[in-house]
């Protein structure tokens, strides 16, 4: 039997902890921060992609609740939760897709 294996075990656990931090926790925290920033910077006129695959232009942003109104085309508007916005598209993207 080997004596003094406790220190080696601590070093191995520390290495696995660092791998976990840099490979899993840190990238996930970075993505969450980017999503929070994206949602807080939504403004009228932004073209957005929703979690359900809808692409529309924001026509109204409500400050008191978490809902926004997006226009899918000239006649159709949808009220969605701000949390369902996945990405802000470049200006003119809706015209290019239709």
Q: What's residue 4's pLDDT? A: 60
User: Could you tell me if 50 and 86 are in contact, meaning their C-beta atoms sit under 8 angstroms apart?
Assistant: yes
Q: Are residues 88 and 46 in the same domain?
A: yes
Structural domain including 8 reads 1-40
User: DSSP assignment, residue 14?
Assistant: H
Q: Are residues 70 and 81 in the same domain?
A: yes
Confidence of residue 2 (pLDDT cuts 50, 70, 90): low
Q: pTM of the prediction? A: 0.69
Q: Are residues 48 and 90 in the same domain?
A: yes
Confidence of residue 6 (pLDDT cuts 50, 70, 90): confident
Q: Six-digit token pair at 43?
A: 């403004």
- pLDDT tens string 86-98: 999 988 777 777 6
- pLDDT tens string 9-61: 899 999 999 999 989 999 999 999 998 898 888 889 999 999 999 999 999 99
Q: Are residues 21 and 59 in the same domain?
A: no
CATH number at residue 56: 2.30.30
């Amino acid at each position: 039997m080997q004596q003094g294996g406790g220190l080696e075990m601590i070093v191995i656990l520390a290495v696995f902890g660092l791998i976990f931090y840099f490979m899993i926790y840190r990238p996930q925290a970075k993505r969450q921060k980017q999503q929070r920033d994206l949602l807080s910077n939504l403004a009228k006129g932004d073209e957005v992609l929703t979690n359900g695959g809808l692409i529309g232009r924001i026509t109204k942003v409500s400050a008191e609740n978490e809902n926004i109104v997006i226009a899918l085309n000239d006649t159709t508007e949808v009220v969605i939760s701000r949390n369902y916005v996945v990405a802000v598209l470049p200006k003119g993207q809706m015209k290019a897709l239709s």
